[in-house]
Amino acid sequence: MTDTASAPEYAIEVENLQKIYAAQGKVPEKHALKGISLKIPRGSIFGLLGPNGAGKSTFINILAGLVNKTSGTARIWGLDIDEHPRQSRAAIGVVNQEIVADPFFTPIEMLDLMAGFYGVPKSERQSFEILKAVGLDDKKDAYVRQLSGGMKRRLMVAKALVHNPPVLILDEPTAGVDVELRRSLWTYVRELHARGTTIILTTHYLEEAEELCDSIAIVNHGEIVACEPTPKLLARLDYKTLVISPKQPLESVPETLRALDATIRRSGDLAITFRTSETGISRLLEQVKDAGIGIGDLVTETPDLEDVFLSLTSEPA
Ligand code: ADP
Ligand code: MG
């Protein structure tokens, strides 16, 4: 599929991308993307992280050719989407947020149809191999309506891969997906990445982006508010909260722990926030024990997306 373009430095390059959805009836116009510029290096696993309504799907759908941009430029695999609409789209496989699967076809038929749609010659189609890779080979002749939600999701991934694109884009692929499927999906995505596919995924879970992505762009209200290698982004969030359920309820923070960032929660739990680079948990636990507190249970809480936004807006970058 990519024989027409030699491997570019960036899988995706967008410059000042804007999208204004026109007003419809009583719904006012919506400035969904306010000038996004982004370069996604070839070979990366890139995360587009942001809350619902941030503009993630709009961005993906413009690349996929499902939404018309208002202004700006976009290149996929070095190809401008206006100048080379067909070729540029052949370089990406997109797994949409919504599951759309025609109930009257079997998985193998769907993949063959899709391959035909992309103009993949019969001799080069790998429908069965792809089904096998996503663990649906035993369902190849089942009706799609008989598949579970998780299986349909995997079929969507398979559909996006029929033309062997160098870039795979997944829009919130784990929304409404159980833990087991999430794991197997990620294992497969990592395999694809190891074989050279550039991966772009959107999510509103920091944890998910953190676990998978080597770089993360944070998008909020149609703007990129941060774009950094994952470790650098996480370094901004260099703290955790240790929450201890004491064996005997506490009324106040013991004298010896007052120097720490410690509070008593309404539940009676003791919460201590600490910098992970400065303080070890074992050291904290010793202090807690020295204060005469019996530990009934404990958990650590890590910062989430809300906290990222707070840290981005409260500290100069
Ligand atoms: P995300 O995927 O990050 O949740 P979206 O790109 O779906 O965000 O939406 C961004 C904003 O654009 C939201 O306010 C949403 O309501 C609006 N929007 C999305 N699609 C349309 C559309 N087809 N028409 C009008 N507004 C839309
Ligand atoms: Mg979305």
3-state helix, strand, coil split of the chain in percent (to 5) is 35, 30, 40
What is the rounded distance in angstroms from the CA atom of residue 101 to the CA atom of residue 104?
Answer: 9
Output the CA 160–ligand 1 centroid distance in Å.
Answer: 22
State residue 313's pLDDT score: 63
What is the rounded distance in angstroms from the CA atom of residue 135 to the CA atom of residue 151?
Answer: 9
What is the mean pLDDT for each group of 10 consecutive residues in the chain (317 residues)?
69 98 95 97 96 95 96 98 96 88 87 92 92 91 88 90 95 81 86 95 89 94 93 84 92 92 92 90 93 94 77 58
The answer to whether residues 19 and 33 touch, using CB atoms and an 8 Å cutoff, is yes
230-239: Cβ within 8 A, 24+ apart? 230/47, 233/308, 234/210, 236/308, 236/311, 236/312, 236/315, 237/302, 237/303, 237/307, 237/308, 237/311, 238/275, 238/276, 238/277, 239/273, 239/274, 239/275, 239/276, 239/303
Q: What is the DSSP letter of 63?
A: H
Output the CA 125–ligand 2 centroid distance in Å.
Answer: 31
Cβ of residue 32 lying under 6 Å from some atom of ligand 1? yes
For residue 92, count other CB atoms closer than 10 A to its CB: 24
- Determine the atom of ligand 1 nearest the C-alpha atom of 219: 3
State residue 98's pLDDT score: 81
Minimal-distance CA residue to ligand 1 atom 13: 53
- Determine the atom of ligand 1 nearest the C-alpha atom of 50: 3
Minimal-distance CA residue to ligand 1 atom 7: 57
CATH architecture for residues 240-313:
2-Layer Sandwich (3.30)
Residues in Cβ contact with 82 at an 8 Å cutoff, skipping those fewer than 6 apart:
73
The answer to whether residues 244 and 286 touch, using CB atoms and an 8 Å cutoff, is no
Identify the CA nearest to 197 among candidates 233, 165, 163, 228.
165
Output the CA 138–ligand 2 centroid distance in Å.
Answer: 31
Residue 281 structure tokens:
């948990």
Domains of the chain, by residue range, sit at: 10-234, 240-313
Identify the CA nearest to 51 among candidates 199, 208, 218.
218
CATH architecture for residues 10-234:
3-Layer(aba) Sandwich (3.40)
Cβ of residue 48 lying under 6 Å from some atom of ligand 1? no
Output the CA 204–ligand 2 centroid distance in Å.
Answer: 9
